[in-house]
Structure 1
Amino acid sequence: MDKYNFKRPKLDIPKSTFQKVFDGFTLIVFTAGIVHLIAVWGQLPDQVPAHYNAAGEVNRWGSKWELILLPIIAAILAIFMTFLEKHPEWHNYMNLNENNIEFQYKNSVLLLNVIKNECVLLFVFIDYNIVQVALGKAESIGILFLPITLTVMFGSIIFFVVRSIRHK
């Protein structure tokens, strides 16, 4: 199969149970995050944490209206990535051939689903933590936030890339 001239077929890759459950869980957490933000809005000071340094400490304060940006960005990201999940023929592959195309499509769609949900959950967590710091219930996002986030995100990517390479 010539990798430059090959027109990848569009296969119907239905969502696995895991993907449906993960999407549902993320939607529930996302909705709860928005409900929480609405519930505490009146209690928030005008200035809330707007940025954290690598140690998890607040290094910029901004308007509480900036809190609205995180759910908006998360929703746009989720919609876009859900759209891309439906088109695995557009994704990049290293070892695609007639014998493994279905596996590679499923693997790529699952990777995209996991990263999408991790990102949305990350945005919800950050928004929630900003509220906690602004209300004086926490001092920072914590020093472990960055290493844990990077480990989870890159760990997921590495897992699926290795899985793809092993399934030539």
Structure 2
Amino acid sequence: MKKHGWSYLLIALSVLIGVVAYPYLPDQMPMHWNINGEVDEYWNKQYAVFFPPLLMIVLMALFIYMPRIDPKKENYKKFSSSYLIFITIMNAFFLLLQCVTIGYSLGLNIDISLAVNLGIGLLFIVLGNYLPRIKHNYFFGIRTPWTLANEKTWRKTHQLSGKLFVVAGLLLVAISFLPGVYKFTGMLVVILTTVLISTIASYVYFNRYKNVGNN
């Protein structure tokens, strides 16, 4: 439990923020924005306020449970610090989303698309720095049929993808300051391109290394 201390603190902070803000929030809160930055979906505040901490709790349970059922469970010990950092950063991201949503609902002049893009960009940069450290497993990382089938393919793919994710994160941060429709389109192009290149690379590496073992 102690090793997840920061994540538990972020979840507790999320609940506290929701409880404190709840009496001051409108009955209907914006929860989705279109590509032009306009609100196109509202939720009742009892759901909107406490959805982020609930999601954080569910994800925490999954992240804690996954290593226990993974056939490669012993490998998690080899990248445990990176795994914990990723969990913490994910919780921080959802806390950020909760805060900007509540702030917007309270009338603050917040550019939601800017905040979300910046958050995703920083998330990609952090993840990119830790991807090369992730060892072969079945639940966490770049999981394609080819990375799962061969440890050397896994390693090479994650080394490349780490660099790609950092570059993608920097691009997402830069794109955050573009006008609405360009921001949304740019984000999709960057993310899909990163995923596509990583997937293709895993196939290429697999065919290169499938007959040379996992060393």
- Calculate the TM-score normalised by the size of structure 1: 0.64
Q: Does 2:92 align with 1:121?
A: yes
**SS of the residue aligned with 1:143?**
helix
CA contact (8 A) 1:49 1:61 kept: yes
CA contact (8 A) 1:88 1:105 kept: no
Equivalent residue, structure 2, for 1:132: 103
**Taking structure 1 as reference, are residues 144 and 46 closer, same or farther at Cα in structure 2, changes over 3 Å only?**
closer
**Taking structure 1 as reference, are residues 109 and 127 closer, same or farther at Cα in structure 2, changes over 3 Å only?**
same
Aligned mates of 1:88, 1:149 — CA distance in 2: 29
Equivalent residue, structure 1, for 2:124: 154
Give, in angstroms, the shift of residue 34 of structure 1.
0.9
CA contact (8 A) 2:14 2:52 kept: no
Q: Which residues in structure 2 correspond to 1:1-150 (within 5 Å)?
A: 20=3, 23-53=4-34, 58-67=39-48, 68-86=50-68, 89-90=71-72, 104-146=75-117, 148-150=118-120
Give, in angstroms, the shift of residue 135 of structure 1.
0.8
**Taking structure 1 as reference, are residues 86 and 160 closer, same or farther at Cα in structure 2, changes over 3 Å only?**
farther
CA contact (8 A) 2:7 2:87 kept: no
**SS of the residue aligned with 2:114?**
coil
Give the % identical residues.
Answer: 18
- The one-character-per-residue Cα deviations of 1:121-150 (angstroms, maximum 9, x if unpaired) are 11111112111111112333251531x333
Q: CA RMSD in A?
A: 3.1
Residue identity matched to 1:43: Y
Aligned mates of 1:54, 1:35 — CA distance in 2: 31
Aligned mates of 1:149, 1:87 — CA distance in 2: 31
For structure 1, list consecutive stretches of 5 or more residues without a partner in the other structure.
1-14, 92-101
Aligned mates of 1:113, 1:56 — CA distance in 2: 33
Moved more, 155-164 or 25-34: 155-164
Residue identity matched to 2:28: Q
Greater relative CO, 1 or 2 (CA 8 Å, sep 6+): 1
Give, in angstroms, the shift of residue 85 of structure 1.
4.3
Give, in angstroms, the shift of residue 29 of structure 1.
2.6
Aligned mates of 1:155, 1:33 — CA distance in 2: 24
Number of residues of Structure 1 aligned to a counterpart in Structure 2? 137
For structure 2, list consecutive stretches of 5 or more residues without a partner in the other structure.
135-154, 160-214
- The one-character-per-residue Cα deviations of 1:67-121 (angstroms, maximum 9, x if unpaired) are 2222111101011102224566536xxxxxxxxxx7x533443343222222221
